[in-house]
Amino acid sequence: MGGLSESFKNMEGVTNLITLQEQKEGLVGFLFDFKDTESLNEAMSGVLGGEGSNKKNAPKSYLQKKNKLILDFDNQDLGKMKKSIGDESMMMLIGSFDYEFTVNLPFTIKSIDNKIYTVSADRKSISATVNLEDYISGNESLSTTVKW
C-alpha cells in the first residue's frame, strides 16, 4: 500500500489523501479529493497503469458535463484483469472480498441511472458495494450517470 500511497501523493490535482488500513475490519483503500475530473482520470491512470502512463493516454472514466457526472468503467478491461491474475485459488480469495466505491459531490443529486448505487440521506454522495471477483470479472458494472 505504501507504493500506491506515494503514487497518489505525487499526483497533480489530488489532495487530502487518507490511506485506510484497518485490518480488523478488513478495510484497505484510499480517500482523497481531486481538483477536477481530468485530474482524477490522470491520477487513476498513473496509479493503475504504472510507469509510462501519462495525460495523453489516461482513460476518461470520469467525465463532468453540465449538471451531471458520468462514470464510465470499461468492463472488458476488468475482464482482462481477471485473466492476468490467472490463478484460480487467487480468484477464490479475491471472491471473499467486497469492493466499495463512494463518490462525494458538492451538489444535491437529483437522479442516478444505476440501481446498484445508494444515494446518501443528504443526497450529496453515492456508494455501491460489489463482490470484488464479480467486479474484476466484469460481471458488475459501476458505470452510471449522476444528475444534479
pLDDT tens readout for residues 91-103:
667 777 788 888 8
Provide the β-strand partners of residue 144.
71
Return the H-helix or E-strand segment holding 37.
helix 37-49
CB 140 within 8 A of CB 130: yes
Highest average pLDDT, of 25-29, 55-59, 77-81, comes from 25-29
Q: Which pLDDT belongs to residue 55?
A: 57
Q: Which pLDDT belongs to residue 33?
A: 81
Q: Where do the structural domains in the chain lie, given as residue ranges?
A: 1-59, 61-148
Beta-sheet strand order (sheet of 98-104)? 98-104, 125-131, 118-119
Question: Cα(30)–Cα(8) distance, rounded to whole angstroms?
Answer: 9
Look at the alpha carbons of 66, 103, 127, 43 in this order and tell me if their dihedral is positive or negative: positive
- Kindly state the average pLDDT of the residues 33-44: 80
User: For residue 54, is pLDDT > 70?
Assistant: no
Q: Which pLDDT belongs to residue 111?
A: 97
pLDDT digits (tens, 9 = 90+) for 82-131: 555 666 776 667 777 788 888 888 889 999 999 999 999 999 999 999 88
Model confidence band, residue 17 (pLDDT cutoffs 50, 70, 90): confident
Question: Cα(32)–Cα(55) distance, rounded to whole angstroms?
Answer: 19
Model confidence band, residue 4 (pLDDT cutoffs 50, 70, 90): low
CB 140 within 8 A of CB 121: no
Q: Which pLDDT belongs to residue 50?
A: 52
